[in-house]
Structure 1
């Protein structure tokens, strides 16, 4: 049996919300808000960002459900979850190849899902972030982020 995989460099740096079914898009709105609003700290990494989240059983289930959907719409990202002993916070990392970090920064600054103090402390400008109150609003912002990051010279082929 031969396994066919696409090299990470060949995957476009763009969010494809239509990779999710309508039901998944609705669920992502709920789960995404729960997860992103719970982020307590953001650390910059060479290829992305790490997010500190409460180390509860409930949060672990929210993270798992969110990542199930994030993997579909953003296949260019690599997700790592560090789970320490009970009660310790989780560290969830989003990283990727060339252009992924810029995409993540634009997403954080465009989507109004993080606590403003947490985002500002990490050096993000969220003053113009859009409120996401519907799937259509999320898709519109995703399209904006895709345009912003592709206009910065990243055409998805790593060049």
Structure 2
């Protein structure tokens, strides 16, 4: 079964959208490293940003079901990693959605 490459902007309730936009802004601002890969991006953040990452993923996966989110948090490590990937064309979508500079 194929998942369409389209966002469902109604998946996040109107009263929660502002908080989601703020979590998105915080995620990008807090990233200490942003790595581009063939399928998307990896963000490294301080471990204390874990809640920001999980808040972002919890909402973003509702409106963008074609994206894959992988959060890696290891014990005794000072960072958490978020990888966002998707089908062909998703990388440019991610770049635009998160307001990342051109590669």
Q: TM-score, normalised by structure 1?
A: 0.58
What CA distance in whole angstroms lies between the structure 2 residues aligned with 1:62 and 1:35?
6
How many Å apart are 1:46 and its aligned residue?
2.0
- Please give the per-residue CA displacement for 1:26-46, whole angstroms capped at 9, x wherever unaligned: 220222222221111111122
**Alignment match of 2:11 (pick from 11, 16, 19):** 19
Q: Which has the higher strand share?
A: 2
Instruction: Pick the structure with greater CA Rg.
Output: 1
Match of residue 34 from structure 1: 26
5+ long unaligned stretches in structure 2? none
Match of residue 71 from structure 1: 61
Q: Which has the higher helix share?
A: 1
Match of residue 45 from structure 2: 53
What do you get for the CA RMSD once the two structures are aligned? 2.0
What CA distance in whole angstroms lies between the structure 1 residues aligned with 2:5 and 2:41?
16
Structure 1 contact 17–25 (Cα < 8 Å) conserved: no
5+ long unaligned stretches in structure 1? 1-6, 112-118, 126-159
What CA distance in whole angstroms lies between the structure 2 residues aligned with 1:24 and 1:47?
29
How many Å apart are 1:11 and its aligned residue?
2.0
**Alignment match of 1:107 (pick from 93, 97, 100):** 97
- Size of the aligned set, in residue pairs, is 103
Q: TM-score, normalised by structure 2?
A: 0.84
What CA distance in whole angstroms lies between the structure 1 residues aligned with 2:7 and 2:91?
13
What CA distance in whole angstroms lies between the structure 2 residues aligned with 1:12 and 1:102?
16
